[in-house]
Amino acid sequence: MDINWFPGHMAKAQRMIVKDIHLVDVIVELLDARIPASSSNPMISDMIQSKPKVIALNKSDMAETEITQKWLKFYRQQGQLVVAFDAISGRGIKDLVNQIEVAARPKIQAAQAKGIKNRPIRVMILGIPNVGKSSLINRLKGSATVRTADKPGVTRGKQWIKIGKNLELLDTPGVLWPKLDSAEVAFKLAVTGAINDDVYDVEKVVLTLLTLLRDNYHERLTVRYGLESPIPEDSEELLKKIALKRGCLRAGGIIDSEKTIRIVLSDFRLGKLGRFSLDIPEQDSLV
Ligand SMILES: Nc1nc2c(ncn2[C@@H]2O[C@H](COP(=O)(O)OP(=O)(O)OP(=O)(O)O)[C@@H](O)[C@H]2O)c(=O)[nH]1
Ligand SMILES: [Mg+2]
């Protein structure tokens, strides 16, 4: 897939993160619980070096619960601090704050030993675009302090937010990595909304999504769109069937593929096709 996913502002964001990393005690790496492996930026470990890190699997309301549990186990076995989280309802938030405190403890104790009391824990939130960094900050703060939206690239500058007496958080712009070698990772990032829809082939992504749904989530697909079995093997034919069911027709009865593509993508992203875990620990991919 040909994607220009590394625009100038992202390179700038990356420089800013590297420059500011020494200001913080803990990194929260926000991953998308639907695609923990694919949403993990391989550049992050280079950028943060030995800083204590907590992995937070956000959007866990949209992922399959059992698979999220497997991911938690997977990361714990690697000795990582990890929580499952959902920035919309706030489920998992206490756990996250606890883990941040655990990660920061050595730093805070060292400060106390030097006589510095009540120093807040400084935390940098890192993650790919649209993963929910700003939503997490708003949820911790308890109010809509920073801007969020259902598209990537919303946060551009950095911003410190004070949470109570104990925490100071730095919101950062989402960063992807300059070279996406794997078409599979690119698909997962695109379909979950991490990459701006203007810079990839949306039709190709939705046709891949339809193949995945047909092969692995047949019933959800037939129920959602009222399709009769057997459904077409060919994804373009399948798209046409959905268009007909949805009445996506232009003048003269011509199928409006663009509109149908938007409907399927939006249904997937809004959870109308159910919960999805597209990355499974230590298992080959579905696509
Ligand atoms: N269902 C669900 N949606 C979420 C969750 N967290 C965030 N969102 C939605 O995801 C979208 C992106 O959230 P933001 O907080 O703006 O993401 P961000 O990581 O700050 O994005 P950039 O600033 O663009 O990098 C918004 O529409 C949020 O409402 C979650 O846990 N569950
Ligand atoms: Mg943001």
pLDDT at 60: 97
pLDDT at 160: 86
pLDDT at 3: 56
Ligand nearest to the CA of 132: 1
Q: Which atom of ligand 1 is nearest to the CA of 271?
A: 1
Ligand 1 lined by 130 (C-beta under 6 Å): yes
Q: Quickly tell me which residue has 């129920």 as its tokens.
A: 223
Ligand 1 lined by 61 (C-beta under 6 Å): yes
Q: Where in the chain is the domain with CATH 1.10.1580.10?
A: 201-269
Q: How far apart are CA 179 and CA 4, in angstroms?
A: 9
CATH (residue range 201-269): 1.10.1580.10
| Cα-to-centroid distance, 158 and ligand 1 (Å) | 17
pLDDT at 156: 77
Q: How far apart are CA 124 and CA 173, in angstroms?
A: 11
| Cα-to-centroid distance, 148 and ligand 1 (Å) | 6
Provide the 10 A C-beta neighbour count for residue 161.
18
pLDDT at 82: 98
Ligand 1 lined by 86 (C-beta under 6 Å): yes
Ligand nearest to the CA of 129: 1
pLDDT at 143: 75
Nearest in space to 7 (alpha carbons), one of 200, 205, 175:
175
Q: Which atom of ligand 1 is nearest to the CA of 87?
A: 31
Number of H-type helices and E-type strands within the chain: 10, 8
Report the residue among 6, 148, 269 best suited for mutation to probe ligand 1: largest number of ligand atoms under 8 A from its CB: 148
Q: Where in the chain is the domain with CATH 3.40.50.300?
A: 8-171
pLDDT at 4: 61
pLDDT at 273: 97
Which are the contacts of 84, defined by CB distance < 8 A and separation ≥ 6? 33, 56, 57, 60, 68, 69, 71, 72, 92
10-residue mean pLDDT series, the chain (287 residues): 64 86 94 96 86 97 97 96 96 94 94 90 94 92 83 80 89 82 92 91 96 95 93 94 94 93 97 96 71
The topology under which CATH files domain 8-171 is: Rossmann fold (3.40.50)
